[in-house]
Structures are given as structure tokens and as C-alpha cells.
């Protein structure tokens, strides 16, 4: 099991402490598994408290044994949860001396029931939402983090290469997906990609073809998809793949916690000229985005530029979903979670920085016909970008 | 795509309305995808409001198109979320006439950030935690729901049958898991099993062998497991399976949203007499639990009976995990989520009822050696129970 260098965990905590100070928070309680892992190197059940100044502490319910062997930070038994409020006050007397400390927490993921218990335990604390700080901090990746995404990219590319060889008319979408999954699992794929958004979930992406790919759904992505039933309303369905229809292979892979996201479009035979042209417009948007992709650029501008190109091609209504089911972004940050920052969308104006990893996914949806598009994950560098996705970029046209 | 009969959704809402009235709540806002599906037949992004009296409404953000085609309830566009508070007050004038209505919500899963926005939107409402009511209601399954779990049980049994044939010394745990997953995916497995518990997640269960299975972890289950890394600290690892060690095959499958859970133990060659005896004790505990399994019985008593049997066998420290990493239950309800009610644990005294579906999983953990055990999912009937798991019950001893 590879881990980040020992000093990296400390650096992450130090950077976050700086953010806490700048935002007038005296400490932050991290409750989410992904957040705890990011700062400690361990993902056991418990709470991580990071004071703006001083040493963090990881209060573990289970497994303490494992947390002690993995964690880079002071790690102790959580003990009675009822006493946790007074325990924190004892462990951080200076911080709680004011009587009304401002304490951050990951309120975007912490369930209300648990939040209300914490409020009750520390009734004088002023609880703040630290989720924006956490998302900003995590948007810039370290060399170790990038190496994990690169490993995931290798597994995803191997899966596509194998899957394309197996693809046959009459296969179900799910059969093709299961074939891809087996390759990625054997390479170490965790079996799911973590998502931060409430009610969002994703095992390995989607393989969807023809009109099934274009059915609208709740999932916060540009392609729809029929899925398996009203209770599993996304990703692959049991529909059989036909000749001449677009097959969207939008997959990811999670290695050592880190996720890649990529899309390729395939067809058995040829696409109709209209869909072929839409695919080419998606590739052209990707090229134009790459041409602008550099530190200092506003994510919002990349989105607006893509919207303009789609409109110029007469495809405005089909871009990133169809009609009322369109999503309002061109891409998203990616790392320990599939839905990280920055989002290439209106309102995201903080300039791109070296170390950010971003999936860019121009797609066009045609109800009754299908979805075409392409997606790469990019690393922002000092001068521009490096493409992390390694699958060949093309429309995969098969003769079988 | 099979769906429950049209009248079933109405019946579920009616039963919940009765609970709301009995618990002095004037309405309940369901925010979680699983909860929305349970009451509407649709799992799109939005909010379901169920008044204690009158008609429910499903306010959909995306996809409204899809929700309209699936939902059994009045389904409308959510519109501006900022206006949602006043919208509810307008749509349910009688309910909000008191000025301070008691409104329930699924606070055990609703993120605090969203909860705080809702509180702000309806500042005079008294928000209540309705999660206990939801968990109670959903613990008793309909014939449709049971039919879905039975379908999942068939897929899981087919996977085990196939996996046992593929099992070879030197395979990694993850390779065997990927083989099982492919069979279940082709049968319609969603690729993950939903869990209600915060920070809990599970693609398809675990395949783990020897000392790797016995490594403690955060996951709220009796077996530990090494997993793939500190960032994926559960389920299967890349360790190769050896001769003579216990191989725990604890898998589930999610069909049309419903989950089965089952465990079988295998070995290439023979187990040591000590582990063999522990396996037999697990089977004996399962038999004794079955002998007591009937409507009216207290879940707590089943747990206590199992604890006693483990102690009598001299295995108290090894039962349901080892030492400080033991979990305090024998089994759990199962349905749309893997971690439903009732839990066979202390404090669960409400008598078992016909229609409940419960996974019972006696297991013994031996650090450095492995985990042995067995798990079936049961349906409570009018007079006793029916076993839903259909894999043969035995220690799978392979000669290869």
C-alpha cells in the first residue's frame, strides 16, 4: 500500500490552519471519512479536530488499533461521545477560553442529527460552515495525489482498450460495463467513486447507448441514462447495444482513493452525419478549452466559451443535456471525490492554479438518438496543462 | 423495469401519515433519494412533502420529465429553492395556519448545510427528527419488496456458485470479488449497496482471506478486512489467497434497489481444527437463532442468546470481531439499504413482525488467522421465518 510522504499530511494541516486563521475560525471539526483521510492518512470512524494554532487530534471510535497504525497525527480513543464536548474543551483550553469560539465543520456533508448533537455538546461555540475552505484546499493536488490519479488513468485506459475488443452488437450496456469493471477491479479499483453531493452516487460511471443514454435523470452530469430501474435511475441499463448508434463510455476508476474520469464515444458501424458532426463539435470544444487552459484563467470563462461554440454549431439546446435537463457546467475538479472544485461553471471566477485536476466533458444529447462526447482529466501545470487521461482520442468505429 | 403495484405507493404514504399523526407531526419533508423513492416510485432530485393529512407533493429539481413519468404522487417543478418555504406554506395553508407547525425530516441523513437553509426558509416551523419513524415503517416489507430481495438472492447464489468454481490458490481476494461482481452485474446488480449510516459505503461486500480478513477496520460489520489502502480500508485486498486459510465470502447484490446480504466460508484444503470448530459454532448459533426466530420475539434476546453461545464455546473475545473492535450486534434489517432496522442488538426490544427482512451473521475473528462464519437473510412470516438466501449452507472445502 503506497502512502503519501510523511511530511505531506503535516503540510496539508498547516495549509488548512492558515486558512482557518484567515477566516477567523479558531478550529475545525472534520467528520467526513474523506476529510479525515486527507488530513491524517487514516479513514477510521471518528472526529478530527484541527485548531487554527497547535496540534490536531484524531478521536477514534473504531478501529483505534488501525488508526494508530496509519495516522500521521495525535490519535486517541474517542471514548464516550457524550463527553466529547467537554473533552475538546479540556484538550484545547486556550481555544475555548474565550467562551464562544468559532468552530468550523464540514456542514455540507455532516448529517443534521449529528450536527445538532455537537451543537448541544458545545452550546457556546459558534459553528461555522468550513466546507468552502476544505474544497478550496483540496482543489490543488500534491505530486503524490497526482501519481494516484495517473495510476487510475492507466487502469481506465486498459479497461477501454479491453472493452472495445469485447464490444459486440446485442451485448447489454451492463455487460459491457461489467467487462470494463472487471479490468479496473483487478487493477485495484475500489468499486465506487466517492461523491460529495447529497444523494449522488456512482460505482464506475456509465456505459449507455442510443436513446437509453439520452433519457434524462437526476445524476449531476451532462449525459442522462436509463439505468436499471426507477430505483437505480442512472448508468447502464439492460438494453442491448445496436448497430449505428452512439455508445457513450463514461467511466472512472478509484485507486488508493483517487479518481479519474474520462469519456469516449464508440459506434458499431458509422454514426449518422448529424451525430458525427456533433461529436466533432465536442472534440473541437475540448481543443478550444485546452488552448485556453492555463493558470490564471477563470473557470467561468471556459464554460462560457464552450456555450458559445455549441451555439455557433446550432447545438445550444443539446449541449450538456437536453432542454430543461441541461446541466450548467463544462467540467469539474476531481481527486478523492468525483465532484470536486473548481467547477467550470458560472460563478467560479477564482483563477485556475497549478496542481488543480479537472475533468472537461463536452457532450451533446439527442433525445431518442443518444449522447456523443469526449472527456479528459487534466492537470494544471505552471505554464499550461498536462492531459492525465491516456486513452486514444477518437470516435471508436468498429466494424463488427 | 418492474415496479410495485400502483396502490402500494399510496399505502406506504398512508401508513406514514398515520405515524405522523400519532407522533404529533403535521407533516414531513423527505430529502433523501431512497426515502423519496420509497414513497413515490421515483428517485429524482427534489423534495417530497407528506402532510399528516391530505395529499403529498414531490417538488422536483431534476429531472422533472423523468419524475413525471415515474412518480405515483402529485409531481411539480421545484422552481426557485429560495421560494420553497413560502411555496410549502402556500400549498399547505391549513397545516401552516397554526404558525408553528411541527415538521419532520430525515435528519439522520440530511446534511446540516441544507437543514440550516430549510430552518431559515420556514423560521417558525419546529423541525423534528422523523428518522426513527421512517426506519420503523420501512422495516416491514411488502410482497413486491420481498420479490426484489429474492431476485437479488438468486443473483448472489449464482455468483457464489460460479466463484467457487473459479477459486484457486494464488488468486487475489480482489480477483475473486471481481469474478463474483461480474456475475451479479450481468444479473442487474446496481454495482453498490446503499447504506444509511454516515461515512459507510459498500460496493458488493467483501472477499477476504487469512489474516487480511481479520484486520480491524471502521466498517460497521463483524469482519474486519485489510482493503486496498488506508483510503479504501475495507473489503477485498490485493493479497493472494493461500491453502488452508479461511476465505470469507460476504457479498450482497442490489436488484431494483433491494439488497440481499449473505456470507459463506470457503477453504482450499482444510481448516485447522480450531477454526473448523469456530465455524461450526457459527452454524450452531445460526440454527439456534432460527429456532427462536418468530414474530413477537425481541431482537435483543436473539443477540443475547448468541453472545451466550459464543461464551459457552470459549469464543467470547472472538465473536463479531476481536477485542476492542467487536461490533455489538448479531444481524440487521435489510431492504433498500444494507443497514436497516431492526438491529439484533441491545436496546432493540420492539417485537419482530411478519414482513421484516433480517440478515443474521454470526462470525468469529482470529487475528493473524482469519474470519469464519455464515450469514443468511430471513423473511419473518406469520408463524416463523423463511430463508431468502439460497446458497447451500456449508463450509466450502475445495481440493484445488
> Between β-strands B247-255 and B205-209, what pairing exists: parallel, antiparallel or unpaired?
antiparallel
Q: Rounded mean pLDDT of A90-97?
A: 94
Instruction: Name every chain A residue with its beta carbon within 8 A of the beta carbon of B217.
Output: 44, 63, 66
Question: Please, what is the average pLDDT of chain A?
Answer: 97
- Residue B225 contacts A, CB cutoff 8 Å: no
Interface check for B111 against chain A (CB to CB < 8 A): the answer is: yes
The pLDDT assigned to A223 comes to 87
Q: What is the pLDDT of residue A4?
A: 87
pLDDT, averaged per 10 consecutive residues of chain B (400 residues), comes to 84 98 98 98 98 98 97 97 96 91 98 98 96 98 98 98 98 98 97 97 96 96 93 96 98 97 98 98 98 98 98 98 96 98 98 98 98 98 97 95
Alpha-carbon gap, residue A11 to A13, rounded angstroms:
5
Burial of B295 (0-12, 13-18, 19+ CB in 10 A): middle
**Which residues does chain B have within 8 Å of residue A41's beta carbon, measured at their own beta carbons?**
230
**B113 and chain A in contact, CB less than 8 A:** yes
Q: Which residues of A touch B181 (CB under 8 A)?
A: 178, 181-182, 185, 191
Q: Give the chain B residue whose CA is nearest to the CA of A112.
A: B112
B191/A192 CB distance under 8 A: yes
CA dihedral sign of residues B242, B248, B254, B255: positive
Please give the pLDDT value at position B2: 67
| A128 contacts A25 by C-beta, under 8 angstroms | yes
* Whole-number Å distance between alpha carbons of A180 and A161: 9
- Going from the C-alpha of A127 to that of each of A15, A22, A124, B112, the distances in angstroms are 21, 16, 9, 11
Return d(Cα A174, Cα A203) in angstroms, integer. Answer: 12
Residue B368: partners with Cβ closer than 8 Å, 6 or more residues away? B211, B214
- Which pLDDT does position B3 carry in this prediction? 78
* Cα B277 from Cα B283, distance rounded (Å): 10
> From A194, which residue of chain B is nearest by alpha-carbon distance?
B201
Tell me if B230 and A181 make a contact (CB, 8 A cut-off). Answer: no
Q: Are strands A331-333 and A340-344 parallel, antiparallel or unpaired?
A: antiparallel
Q: Which of B39, B112, B367 to mutate to test the interface with A (most CBs of A within 10 A)?
A: B112
CB burial of residue B117 (10 Å; 0-12, 13-18, 19+)? middle
* Nearest neighbour of B112 by CB, restricted to A65, A115, A325: A115
Mean per-residue pLDDT for A297-318? 98
A44–B218 C-beta distance less than 8 A:
yes
Distance from C-alpha of B199 to C-alpha of A34, rounded to nearest angstrom: 8
Residue-wise pLDDT for B348-367, tens only, equals 999 999 999 999 999 999 99
- State whether the Cα torsion B318-B322-B328-B331 is positive or negative: negative
Which of A108, A218, A227, A258 should we substitute to test contact with B (largest number of B Cβ atoms within 10 Å)? A218
Tens digits of residue pLDDT in B236-264 = 999 999 999 999 999 999 999 999 999 99
Contacts of A113 in chain B (CB under 8 A): 107-108, 129, 131
What pLDDT score does B223 carry?
Answer: 87
What is the model's pLDDT at position B10?
96
A38 vs A33, B110, B203, B379, CA distance in Å? 9, 23, 21, 41
Tell me, yes or no, if A230 comes closer than 8 A to chain B by beta carbon.
yes
Q: How far is C-alpha B111 from the geometric centre of its chain's CA atoms?
A: 20
* Closest Cβ opposite residue A43 in set B62, B233, B238: B233
Instruction: For B61, name the nearest residue in chain A, comparing CA atoms only.
Output: A218
Query: Which residues in chain A are contacts of B187 at CB distance < 8 A?
Result: none
> What distance in Å separates the CA atoms of residue B301 and residue B136, rounded to the nearest whole number?
19
pLDDT at A251: 97
CB contact under 8 A, A257 and B185: no
User: What is the nearest CA distance from B207 to chain A, expressed in angstroms?
Assistant: 13
User: What stretches of chain B show up as alpha helix (H) in DSSP?
Assistant: 6-22, 33-40, 64-70, 84-91, 93-96, 112-121, 131-139, 143-166, 173-186, 210-213, 273-292, 299-312
Alpha-carbon distance of B209 to B76, in angstroms, equals 51
Residue A98's pLDDT is 82
Q: Is A195 on the interface with B (CB under 8 A)?
A: no
**What confidence tier does A2 reach under pLDDT thresholds 50, 70, 90?**
low
Instruction: Please give the average per-residue pLDDT across A180-196, as a whole number.
Output: 97
Mutate to test the interface with B, among A32, A151, A184, A199 (most CBs of B within 10 A): A199
What the block records as the C-alpha cell of A301 is: 470563462
Of B62, B185, B336, the CB nearest to A177: B185
Cβ of A107 and B129 within 8 Å? no
Say yes or no: B281 contacts chain A, CB-CB below 8 A: no
| DSSP helix/strand/coil, B218 | coil
CB contact A32 to B (< 8 Å): yes
What is the layout of strands, in order, in the sheet containing A205-209?
A205-209, A247-255, A258-268, A396-398
Taking alpha carbons only, the member of B256, B57, B38 closest to residue A228 is B256
A400, pLDDT greater than 80: no
Residues in chain A: 400
Judged by CB atoms closer than 8 Å, whether chains meet at B43 and A1 is answered as no
Distance (Å, whole) CA B88 – CA B75? 13
pLDDT tens digit sequence for A99-141: 899 999 999 999 999 999 999 999 999 999 999 999 999 999 9
Please answer yes or no on whether A65 and B185 come within 8 Å at the CB atom.
no
Contact A192 B194 (CB under 8 A): no
pLDDT of residue A1 exceeding 70, the answer is: no
Taken in order of first residue, the domains within chain A and their CATH numbers are 6-138 (3.40.350.10), 140-398 (3.90.230.10)
Amino acid at each position: 500500500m503506497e502512502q503519501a510522504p510523511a511530511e505531506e499530511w503535516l503540510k496539508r494541516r498547516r495549509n488548512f490552519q492558515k486558512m482557518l486563521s484567515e477566516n477567523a475560525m479558531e478550529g475545525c471539526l472534520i467528520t467526513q471519512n474523506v476529510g479525515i483521510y486527507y488530513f491524517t492518512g487514516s479513514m477510521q470512524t471518528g472526529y478530527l479536530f484541527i485548531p487554527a494554532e497547535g496540534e490536531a487530534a484524531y478521536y477514534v471510535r473504531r478501529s483505534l488499533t488501525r488508526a494508530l497504525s496509519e495516522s500521521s497525527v495525535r490519535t486517541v480513543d474517542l471514548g464516550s461521545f457524550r463527553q466529547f464536548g467537554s473533552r475538546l474543551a479540556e484538550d484545547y483550553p486556550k481555544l475555548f477560553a474565550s467562551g464562544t469560539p468559532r468552530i468550523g465543520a464540514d456542514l455540507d456533508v455532516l448529517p443534521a442529527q449529528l450536527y445538532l448533537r455537537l451543537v448541544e455538546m458545545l452550546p457556546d461555540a459558534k459553528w461555522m460552515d468550513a466546507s468552502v475552505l476544505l474544497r478550496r484546499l483540496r482543489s490543488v493536488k500534491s505530486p503524490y495525489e497526482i501519481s494516484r490519479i495517473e495510476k487510475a488513468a492507466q487502469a481506465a485506459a486498459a479497461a477501454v482498450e479491453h472493452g472495445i475488443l469485447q464490444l459486440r452488437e446485442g451485448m447489454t450496456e451492463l455487460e459491457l460495463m461489467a467487462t470494463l469493471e472487471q479490468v479496473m477491479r483487478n487493477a485495484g479499483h475500489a468499486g465506487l467513486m466517492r461523491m460529495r453531493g447529497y444523494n449522488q452516487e456512482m460505482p464506475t460511471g456509465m456505459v449507455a447507448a442510443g436513446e437509453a443514454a439520452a433519457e434524462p435523470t437526476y445524476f449531476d452530469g451532462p449525459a442522462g441514462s436509463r439505468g436499471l430501474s426507477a430505483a437505480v435511475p442512472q448508468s447502464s441499463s439492460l438494453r442491448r447495444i445496436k448497430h449505428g448508434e452512439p455508445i457513450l463510455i463514461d467511466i472512472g476508476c478509484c485507486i488508493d482513493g483517487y479518481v479519474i474520469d474520462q469519456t469516449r464515444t464508440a459506434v458499431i458501424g458509422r454514426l449518422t452525419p448529424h451525430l458525427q458532426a456533433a461529436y466533432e463539435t465536442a472534440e473541437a470544444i475540448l481543443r478550444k478549452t485546452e488552448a485556453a487552459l492555463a493558470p490564471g484563467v477563470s473557470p467561468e470563462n471556459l464554460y462560457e466559451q464552450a456555450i458559445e461554440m455549441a451555439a455557433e454549431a446550432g447545438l445550444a439546446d443539446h449541449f450538456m443535456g437536453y432542454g430543461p435537463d441541461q446541466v450548467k457546467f463544462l467540467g469539474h475538479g476531481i481527486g478523492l471525490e468525483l465532484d470536486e472544485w473548481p467547477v467550470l461553471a458560472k460563478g467560479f471566477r477564482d483563477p485556475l492554479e497549478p496542481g488543480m485536476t479537472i475533468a472537461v466533458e463536452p457532450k451533446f444529447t439527442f433525445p431518442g438518438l443518444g449522447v456523443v462526447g469526449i472527456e479528459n482529466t487534466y492537470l494544471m501545470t505552471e505554464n499550461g496543462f498536462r492531459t492525465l487521461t491516456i486513452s486514444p482520442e477518437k470516435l471508436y468505429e468498429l466494424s463488427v
